[in-house]
């Protein structure tokens, strides 16, 4: 029997592959991954309170910016990664050296590249699926995406250090090719164009001018009062409890407690603020919110400043039914229990009768259908 003909590196003859193509695409890819990593750290910090340094309350649009960049950088990386992998894929068929010392080095390099490629594909695939609100897996997206990010960035640093001597960003005369077909420069342009299109296709979620041309940013600008809906009241199972006549918002500090009906909330002093709603999935909108300052509600039970506050939703199950509002946010004059958005009474899907809206805070923590506000002592 004849063995299957396994190709050799030399069998791949496309003139389009070159060190310059790999280097340039690699550089852009590295920038995208670096940006996604840093903005990802910020997102993690916002969602998992760190005991020592609390997340800042200003600028109010900070999270909107960093999370928009996170999703845009990740999306742009998709075509870049595909071209990069294509440009080096013949190396998969390099025959390993026979001499054992060189073989060990070769294997170490192969394993590190394997980790990098697997982690990079995992991050982009889970990230893109998340922005599409598609969770075809059982693990926690946030915890896993965060853990693998460290793997990816570690492997990336090793990779950059190992390949830096081979980096070549400038084409030399010998690289200039004659006529036929796509040139290397053409390939680089097409790759840049694909990355640019990927950006425009998602940026509509954050940047209003791109909205009309962003097929992937479907949720932007739609929904009641011009604000998209993430989870509906029906999906959260609160249709009855949110509309019930005996609805009460309970505000509690130590053994002091008040329970306010929806009508009583509207009779308290009302404050108007302009704050963005910025989802971790990358979409965001600015909106005008009206309602009662969290701080003024806490004053009703004489709660002192400087305490974290537990916020609980009417929603009975799900990871976002309860959050902690750190003390600086609870005491901030623009943090509201919102009753209105863009001049309208909150829609049931936006959290009627009352929802939280606080500055520089991920959308997942802007709890809808509030049931309890409790000072943590
Ligand atoms: N109780 C509750 N509040 C919630 C959620 C939820 O699932 N349950 N989703 C959050 C997420 S992920 C976002 S982005 C915002 C979206 O608010 P909107 O639907 O009014 O746009 O609500 C947040 N508040
Ligand atoms: Mo969200």
Is 70 exceeded by the pLDDT of residue 116?
yes
Q: In the beta sheet, which residues pair with residue 269?
A: none
- With contact defined as beta carbons under 8 Å apart, do 335 and 294 qualify? yes
Instruction: Please report the pLDDT score of residue 210 as a whole number.
Output: 62
Pairing label, strands 256-260, 271-278: unpaired
- With contact defined as beta carbons under 8 Å apart, do 366 and 357 qualify? yes
* CA of residue 216 to ligand 2 center, whole Å: 16
* CA of residue 286 to ligand 1 center, whole Å: 15
* CA of residue 30 to ligand 2 center, whole Å: 27
Which of 366, 369, 371 for mutating ligand 1's site (highest number of atoms within 8 Å of CB)? 366
- Confidence category of residue 177, pLDDT binned at 50, 70, 90: low
- With contact defined as beta carbons under 8 Å apart, do 372 and 311 qualify? yes
Instruction: Please report the pLDDT score of residue 254 as a whole number.
Output: 96
Q: Tens digit of pLDDT for each residue in 286-298? A: 999 999 999 999 9
Ligand 1 atom nearest residue 369's Cα: 1
- Confidence category of residue 175, pLDDT binned at 50, 70, 90: low
Q: Tens digit of pLDDT for each residue in 226-251? A: 898 889 999 999 999 999 999 999 99
pLDDT over 90 for what percent of the chain?
75
Q: Tens digit of pLDDT for each residue in 119-142? A: 999 999 999 998 887 888 888 899
Ligand 1 atom nearest residue 350's Cα: 20
* CA of residue 36 to ligand 1 center, whole Å: 23
- The whole-number average pLDDT for the span 369-377 is 97
Which two tokens mark 311? 């916020």
Q: Which residues contact 273 (CB under 8 A, 6 or more apart)?
A: 288, 289, 334, 336, 357
- Confidence category of residue 342, pLDDT binned at 50, 70, 90: very high
pLDDT over 70 for what percent of the chain?
93
- The whole-number average pLDDT for the span 6-13 is 90
Instruction: Please report the pLDDT score of residue 181 as a whole number.
Output: 74
Instruction: Please report the pLDDT score of residue 136 as a whole number.
Output: 83
Prior bond of 143 cis (ω within 30°):
no
Which two tokens mark 119? 């982690």
Which two tokens mark 41? 């750290």
Instruction: Please report the pLDDT score of residue 212 as a whole number.
Output: 55
Lowest mean pLDDT among 11-20, 322-331, 357-366: 11-20
Prior bond of 353 cis (ω within 30°):
yes
Instruction: Please report the pLDDT score of residue 171 as a whole number.
Output: 81
With tokens 């309170």, the residue in question is 49
- Which CA distances in Å does 259 have to 19, 264, 269? 68, 9, 16
Q: Is 170 or 145 the better-scoring residue by pLDDT?
A: 145
Which two tokens mark 280? 């971790």
Q: Tens digit of pLDDT for each residue in 184-216? A: 999 999 999 999 998 887 776 666 656 555 555
Is 90 exceeded by the pLDDT of residue 341?
yes
Instruction: Please report the pLDDT score of residue 282 as a whole number.
Output: 85
Q: List all residues whose CB is within 6 A of at least one atom of ligand 1.
A: 227-231, 236, 277, 279, 313, 315, 318, 320-321, 350-351, 363-364, 366-369
Ligand nearest to the backbone CA of 285: 1
Ligand 1 atom nearest residue 315's Cα: 1
Ligand 1 atom nearest residue 341's Cα: 20
Ligand 1 atom nearest residue 351's Cα: 20
Instruction: Please report the pLDDT score of residue 51 as a whole number.
Output: 77
* CA of residue 106 to ligand 2 center, whole Å: 44
Q: With H, G, I as helix, E, B as strand and everything else as coil, classify residue 109.
A: helix
- Which CA distances in Å does 220 have to 209, 224, 284, 323? 11, 12, 7, 25
């Amino acid at each position: 029997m004849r063995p299957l003909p396994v190709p050799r590196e030399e069998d791949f003859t496309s003139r389009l592959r070159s060190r310059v193509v790999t280097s340039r695409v690699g550089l852009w890819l590295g920038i995208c991954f670096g940006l996604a990593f840093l903005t990802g750290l910020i997102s993690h910090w916002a969602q998992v309170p760190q005991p020592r340094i609390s997340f800042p309350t200003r600028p109010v649009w900070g999270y909107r910016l960093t999370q928009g960049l996170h999703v845009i950088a990740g999306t742009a990386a998709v075509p870049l990664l595909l071209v990069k992998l294509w440009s080096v894929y013949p190396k998969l068929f390099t025959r390993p050296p026979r001499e054992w010392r060189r073989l060990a080095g070769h294997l170490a390099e192969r394993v590190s590249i394997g980790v990098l490629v697997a982690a990079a594909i995992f991050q982009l695939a889970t990230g893109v699926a998340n922005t599409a609100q598609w969770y075809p897996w059982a693990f926690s997206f946030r915890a896993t995406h965060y853990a693998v990010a460290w793997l990816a960035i570690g492997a990336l640093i090793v990779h950059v250090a190992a390949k830096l001597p081979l980096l070549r960003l400038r084409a030399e005369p010998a690289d200039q090719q004659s006529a036929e077909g796509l040139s290397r420069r053409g390939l680089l342009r097409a790759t840049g164009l694909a990355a640019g299109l990927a950006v425009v296709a998602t940026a509509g979620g954050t940047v209003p001018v791109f909205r009309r041309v962003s097929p992937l940013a479907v949720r932007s600008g739609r929904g009641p009062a011009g604000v998209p809906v993430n989870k509906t009241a029906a999906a959260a199972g609160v249709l009855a409890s949110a509309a019930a006549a005996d609805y009460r918002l309970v505000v509690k500090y130590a053994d002091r407690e008040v329970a306010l009906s929806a009508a009583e909330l509207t009779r308290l002093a009302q404050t108007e603020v302009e704050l963005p709603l910025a989802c971790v999935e990358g979409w965001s909108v600015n909106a005008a919110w009206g309602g009662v300052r969290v701080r003024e509600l806490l004053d009703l039970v004489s709660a002192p400043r400087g305490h974290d506050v537990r916020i609980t939703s009417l929603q009975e199950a799900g990871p976002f039914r309860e959050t902690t509002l750190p003390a600086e946010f609870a005491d901030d004059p623009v943090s509201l229990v919102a009753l209105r958005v863009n001049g309208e009474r909150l829609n049931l899907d936006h959290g009627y009768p009352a929802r939280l809206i606080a500055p520089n805070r991920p959308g997942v923590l802007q709890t809808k259908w509030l049931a309890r506000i409790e000072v943590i002592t």
